A and B are shown apart, each in its own frame.
Chain A
Amino acid sequence: KAGVTQTPRYLIKTRGQQVTLSCSPISGHRSVSWYQQTPGQGLQFLFEYFSETQRNKGNFPGRFSGRQFSNSRSEMNVSTLELGDSALYLCASSKGLAANTYNEQFFGPGTRLTVL
């Protein structure tokens, strides 16, 4: 069974631009969560999508948004990029059964975003 895939793996942007990252979950998984990883803040939860609906959200500004398609693939978008948005963006998929329970999450390799 293929794992979680993320594209692109590396990305360089300049301040003010916007970026879209893509995540393909494990086949059969309906939940996709996004995390931002930086040396200073560690792994921080961005949001979770389940059946094309945002089910959970972290404490990030509105510049960070996402969506999920009917095939469970997900994209996240960051608008008006800032230097501080440079990070590894990780996507994790799970079966997503019952919002308030834990379903084991399987992480992709991440997209390394550098903002210049």
Chain B
Amino acid sequence: GESVGLHLPTLSVQEGDNSIINCAYSNSASDYFIWYKQESGKGPQFIIDIRSNMDKRQGQRVTVLLNKTVKHLSLQIAATQPGDSAVYFCAEKAQGGKLIFGQGTELSVKP
């Protein structure tokens, strides 16, 4: 069935370094992807999205890269800060508009 998976369950980085979180998806027909951030005790919060007709999209301190050839996307966070510590999910828009989420990567930022 459809699935979206993450390569690493945990990621620990030093404050100020760049972070890269990876995600693999299985449905080559997927045309829209989203990254969410979930802090403890809160629901997921939208970070950035990308459509399949793009390879790269930049936001404030974040960049999403999409490689359709290998069905892989990544989230890059520049100059990681303690406030970036959270669980990050990639999500794929499936048929009908519902979201299929990956397992999540926990990002820990060391001061």
Contact = CB atoms under 8 A, between A and B. Distances in A.
A99 interface: yes
Interface stretch (B13-21, B69-77, B96-104): B96-104
B interface secondary structure, majority = mixed
Nearest to B6: A42
A107 B45 contact: yes
Which among B42, B98, B103 has the highest number of chain A CB atoms within 10 Å?
B98
Interface in A74-116: 90, 92, 98-110
A84 B70 CA distance: 34
Nearest to A9: B41
A68 interface: no
A101 B97 CA distance: 5
B96 A109 contact: no
Contacts of B103: 42
A102 B93 contact: yes
A105 B95 CA distance: 16
B43 A109 contact: yes
A56 B43 contact: no
Contacts of A42: 89, 101-104
A108 B98 contact: no
A76 B59 CA distance: 35
29 contacts: A33-B98, A42-B101, A42-B104, A43-B44, A43-B104, A44-B101, A45-B99, A45-B100, A48-B98, A55-B96, A56-B97, A56-B98, A90-B43, A90-B44, A92-B43, A99-B96, A100-B95, A101-B97, A102-B93, A102-B97, A103-B97, A104-B46, A105-B99, A106-B46, A107-B42, A108-B43, A109-B42, A109-B43, A110-B43
Interface of A: 4, 33, 35, 42-45, 48, 55-56, 58-59, 90, 92, 98-110
Interface of B: 1, 32, 34, 41-46, 89, 91, 93, 95-104
